[in-house]
């Protein structure tokens, strides 16, 4: 059986699709990669919350699956929104790569005065942990972001360490401790989405990592209960069921943080409800300042 793998066209997305293709090939399954353009790739000049958030990288691939153009789609799991179309499932979650953010810079950390990132989470964390640093907008693929650094637009930029590893890029800078700069839910994880064809599910399930699946699905359940997603400064990280949740104000001057062991989905839901009750005002405030509505 040969599988058509849907992927965004960026270098990073292709590298992730090629990793899935390699794993399938190791099982004796042939595959071809089909490149799909998404709204998130076509509109890089504005923040994600202004063009639809996480789903802008996913919808075109979802449509390609439902229309039978591709058999499976490969995503950075953190880009997959909570609400999913009927008939599509996360059929495999690969073993997690580094969950950490990475500060790319050629200068000493003490000399960094400006940082490029369009993430509200990263912006709030830098404002909180490095007061005085100026934060500026930065979107686009990895090459585009690195070019802004090379051109001197910023002293440093923030990227996901996993993305650099997948592109085999070794850059000067600093790994940011995920216990301090708590990453986005599911950061560092590649997920495969498909329909419910039993033959495809049987193949793809062989490259699923149970430990990563448990940790990332617990993260997602907490995220779903809290609300907010990529629109708000929200970090959620679970490793071997040990969960860290961090909610910040947009300016990073206020924070709610909690850590605990999560046994199952019920525990995750309880934690999400607790965070929503105690930090809901920060989330609602962030939505209001971004000009968004929050249920």
Rounded Cα distance, 61 and 194, in Å: 10
3-state helix vs strand vs coil in the chain, percent to 5: 40, 20, 35
Rounded Cα distance, 213 and 75, in Å: 14
162 CA to centre of own chain: 10
3-state secondary structure 39-80: HHHHCCCCCHHHCCHHHHHCHHHHHHHHCCCCCEEEEEHHHC
Q: Which residues contact 288 (CB under 8 A, 6 or more apart)?
A: 294
Return the closest-CA partner of residue 212 out of 246, 194, 186. Answer: 186
Return the closest-CA partner of residue 222 out of 275, 277, 182. Answer: 275
Return the closest-CA partner of residue 122 out of 93, 157, 91, 84. Answer: 157
Report, as residue numbers or ranges, the catalytic residues.
79
Q: Which residues contact 83 (CB under 8 A, 6 or more apart)?
A: none
Three-state secondary structure call for residue 198: helix
Q: Which residues contact 263 (CB under 8 A, 6 or more apart)?
A: 241
Rounded Cα distance, 156 and 76, in Å: 23
Rounded Cα distance, 280 and 277, in Å: 6
């Amino acid at each position: 059986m040969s599988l058509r793998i849907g992927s965004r066209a960026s270098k990073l997305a292709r590298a992730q699709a090629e990793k899935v293709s390699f794993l399938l090939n190791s099982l004796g399954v042939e595959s071809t990669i089909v490149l799909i353009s998404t709204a998130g790739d076509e509109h890089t000049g504005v923040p994600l919350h202004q063009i639809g958030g996480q789903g802008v990288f996913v919808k075109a691939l979802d449509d390609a699956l439902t229309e039978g153009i591709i058999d499976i789609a490969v995503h950075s799991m953190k880009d997959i929104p909570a609400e999913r179309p009927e008939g599509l499932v996360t059929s495999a979650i690969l073993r997690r790569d580094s969950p950490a953010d990475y500060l790319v810079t050629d200068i000493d950390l003490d000399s960094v005065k400006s940082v490029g990132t369009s993430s509200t989470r990263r912006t709030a964390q830098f404002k909180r942990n490095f007061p005085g640093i100026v934060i500026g907008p930065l979107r686009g693929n990895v090459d585009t972001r690195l070019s802004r650094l090379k051109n001197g637009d910023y002293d440093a930029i923030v990227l996901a360490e996993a993305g650099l590893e997948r592109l085999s890029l070794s850059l000067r800078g600093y790994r940011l401790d995920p216990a301090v700069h708590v990453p986005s839910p599911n950061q560092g994880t590649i997920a495969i989405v498909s329909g419910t064809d039993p033959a495809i599910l049987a193949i793809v399930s062989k490259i699923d990592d149970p430990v990563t699946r448990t940790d990332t699905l617990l993260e997602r359940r907490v995220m779903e209960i809290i609300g907010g997603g990529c629109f708000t400064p929200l970090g959620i990280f679970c490793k071997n069921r040990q969960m860290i949740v961090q909610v910040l104000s947009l300016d990073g001057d206020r924070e709610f943080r909690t850590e605990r062991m999560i046994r199952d989905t019920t525990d995750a839901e309880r934690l999400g409800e607790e965070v929503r009750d105690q930090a809901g005002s920060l989330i609602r405030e962030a939505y209001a300042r971004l000009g968004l509505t929050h249920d």
